[in-house]
Amino acid sequence: MSERRYDPTHDEWVTFATHRQDRTYKPATADCPLCPTHPGGPETEIPREHFDIAVFDNRFPSLSADPPPPDLEGTDLVPVEPAYGHCEVVVFTDDHEATLASVGERRVRLLVDAWAHRFAALAADEKIGYVLPFENKGEAVGVTLHHPHGQIYAYPDVPPRPAREQRAARRHRERTGRCVFCDVVDQEKGGPRVVVEGTHFLAGVPPWARFPYEVDLWAREHVGTLPELDREARDDLARVLARVLAGYDEYFGFRTSYLLGIHSAPVNGPDDERVLGHLHLEICPPHRGGGKLKYLAGSETFGGAFLTDVAPEVAGPRLREAAGRATVPA
């Protein structure tokens, strides 16, 4: 089964991809499908002995450019449609034991270019409404392949959370005439919640952080998508991101698990919707210190109301100090 079903009670689509039950699950290092293919060794997803960054179609995609017809016939109340879209895998390095926090600023800079390139390529499909690069890192967030990698999903519509951001941005612009994220940058720069200040990007614990040590990276200028960044802005994004990730490991004292997502303007939609988008990254570790994890329980799951254990005014200085101490490879 591979299809999308509309939920009329929440005004959103849910994707069913039951074939993903058979995807690779916590293989031994010797059987990792994301490692390079070595002479005499098993063939992996990447048929070369060395590489910097590799991008390829997911073998177990939730969305497909050639989806099968739905198994279920929809109704007026609950329409059903093919699960159209794209799902790509981005492998950050050929070193199985590395992490994005350890590969160095040069590799992160190369990844920024890869993200931007794939964003533009996927957005060129006129059936796509939103492109979301992301990384799930660590067993604490449910990762089943430990080789450092991320994914890029291209959806046929704007998913619920980015859609809520768009609505909030529209309300703010109608009320003030300004971009809400630009106003956030103006408020937060130089403040107690800042973690890393760059020339083009500002990283800080947002005042509304949903996770105890969430860090957002906001573009200082009003820019909607990664491909719009010039060379200097991409350099700065790599520097800021590399230091934030190294700071996490420095603060917690271990390889930090997290969810990382890149929020952008919608693609192929009306111009007045695209102009509302403001490029930013969200990094959400589940850790809350002392070996404890932040779980999404009843209030978050059923109410959508997040409860957070650490004040952003406490988390910001802690992470800023750790990021300043951390060693970031070149």
Alpha helix (H) residue ranges in 124-257: 160-176, 180-188, 231-252
H helix or E strand, kind and range, residue 120: helix 105-123
CA distances to 14, 117, 141, 225, 246 from 62, in Å: 11, 21, 19, 23, 31
User: How many Cβ atoms are within 10 Å of 70's Cβ, its own excluded?
Assistant: 18
Active site residue 149: yes
- Asked whether residue 134 is assigned to any structural domain, the reply reads yes
pLDDT, mean of residues 52-60:
97
Report the number of distinct structural domains present in the chain: 1
- Asked whether residue 249 is assigned to any structural domain, the reply reads yes
pLDDT tens, residue by residue, 190-237: 999 999 999 999 999 999 999 999 999 999 999 999 999 999 999 999
CA distances to 183, 191, 220 from 178, in Å: 7, 21, 14
Reference 203, options 323, 83, 46; nearest CA is: 323
Please report which confidence band the pLDDT of residue 22 belongs to, taking 50, 70 and 90 as the band edges: confident
Examine the pLDDT at 90 and tell me if it is beyond 90. yes
- Asked whether residue 65 is assigned to any structural domain, the reply reads no
Looking at residue 53, which CATH number applies to its domain? 3.30.428.10
Gap between the Cα atoms of 91 and 150, Å rounded: 6
pLDDT tens, residue by residue, 118-131: 999 999 999 999 99
Kindly provide the residue ranges of all beta strands, DSSP E only, lying in the chain, ordered along the sequence: 2-7, 12-17, 54-57, 80-82, 86-91, 130-137, 149-155, 194-197, 201-204, 215-219, 258-263, 280-284, 287-289, 292-293
Q: What is the pTM of this model?
A: 0.97
Contact, 230 vs 105, CB < 8 A? no
- Which residue in 86, 147, 149, 263 is the catalytic one? 149
Query: Collapsing DSSP states into helix, strand and coil, what is residue 261?
Result: strand
313 is in which domain, residue-wise? 24-59+85-325
- Asked whether residue 13 is assigned to any structural domain, the reply reads no
Please report which confidence band the pLDDT of residue 44 belongs to, taking 50, 70 and 90 as the band edges: very high
- Asked whether residue 242 is assigned to any structural domain, the reply reads yes
Please report which confidence band the pLDDT of residue 28 belongs to, taking 50, 70 and 90 as the band edges: very high
Contact, 87 vs 61, CB < 8 A? yes
pLDDT at 119: 98
pLDDT at 42: 86
The single-letter code of the amino acid at 275 is: V
As a whole number, the mean pLDDT across the chain is 96
- Asked whether residue 119 is assigned to any structural domain, the reply reads yes
- Asked whether residue 142 is assigned to any structural domain, the reply reads yes
Reference 328, options 249, 260, 242; nearest CA is: 242
pLDDT tens, residue by residue, 69-87: 999 999 999 999 999 999 9
Gap between the Cα atoms of 62 and 17, Å rounded: 5
Gap between the Cα atoms of 265 and 182, Å rounded: 14
Choose between 130 and 38: higher pLDDT: 130
Reference 90, options 130, 143, 47, 34; nearest CA is: 34
Contact, 112 vs 226, CB < 8 A? yes
pLDDT tens, residue by residue, 237-248: 999 999 999 999
pLDDT tens, residue by residue, 170-193: 999 999 999 999 999 999 999 999
pLDDT at 322: 98
Examine the pLDDT at 40 and tell me if it is beyond 90. no
Cα 230 from chain centre:
21
pLDDT at 1: 81
pLDDT at 162: 97
Examine the pLDDT at 166 and tell me if it is beyond 90. yes
pLDDT tens, residue by residue, 247-295: 999 999 999 999 999 999 999 999 989 999 999 999 999 999 999 999 9
- Asked whether residue 74 is assigned to any structural domain, the reply reads no
